[in-house]
Amino acid sequence: MSETDSTPQFLKAPEVLRNPNPRAPLAAILKISTDRPVRVMVRMTDGTRDTRVEWPAESVEGERILPLVGMKPDRLYLLHLRVVDGAGKARDFGPIEYRTPPVPAGQSNFPRFHLVRSVPGRIEGGITIFTVRRRLQGRGIYMTPKQRDFMTKWSMLVGIDPDGEVVWTYKADARIAGIEILPNGNIFYHSVAFRSVEIDMLGNEVRAFYASRRPQGPAKNSIPVEIGR
């Protein structure tokens, strides 16, 4: 067998596709299929800055669906792939063109950001995630049901890179009260709907819990939690 033949092989051409979950539109998915377990590395460039992501080897070969996070909205990216097997043999693929979608139109659907100052060397690497809420002027007791729904039945998680630019978003159906990044890389958040939800970076619910005596009643596809009186 030649040196070339001993490198990892793609069983079919890798693809980069739009995330099918509209809650996290800036995330994309990489579909890749190899003849052996490999580490996967992707370099994503928009012509001004490169972003690199990497996944460790898995125990089985075949098709893998991997989340791609870190791309800015409404940009054309070129993605360069490299896979490396356990013996250190590598194979490259690309570039693959992928255009990210724009952020939602309207200030009530997406907040305006203004970067005052960024010092990347003093910022922890990776993506910083925070909560965005909507608020109307006036006291809640004087608001109409539609106005209260506008505030409480919407929330957004926004991820920014060290330059302060948006690279990830997630839209929820209820105001989020707190978030935590779990050791597995997923996000755990609480909402005013008396639910606690774990999601992955594609916005998919992994598991959810709800207060058993919440005013809204049982929550679909969620685990009830008994709260002491």
Q: Rounded to whole angstroms, how far apart are CA atoms 33 and 14?
A: 7
Give 143-167 pLDDT, tens digit per residue: 788 878 777 788 999 999 888 889 9
Predicted TM-score (pTM) of this structure: 0.86
Between 177 and 196, name the one with better pLDDT. 196
Whether residue 2 is predicted with pLDDT greater than 50 in this model: the reply is no
**pLDDT tier for residue 226 given thresholds of 50, 70 and 90:** confident
Q: Rounded to whole angstroms, how far apart are CA atoms 55 and 84?
A: 11
- Distance from chain centroid for Cα 54: 15
| Beta pairing partners, 39 | 84
Cα dihedral 79, 80, 83, 88, rounded to 10, equals -150
Contacts of 60 (CB under 8 A, 6+ apart): 37
Residue 197 per-residue DSSP state: E
- Cβ neighbours, 10 Å, residue 104: 14
Give 93-148 pLDDT, tens digit per residue: 989 999 999 988 887 788 888 888 878 778 777 888 999 888 777 776 777 888 78
Give, in degrees to the nearest 5, the angle at Cα 72 between 66 and 78.
65
Residue 121 per-residue DSSP state: G
Which range scores top for mean pLDDT: 79-88, 126-135, 220-229?
79-88
Place of tokens 């774990």: 198
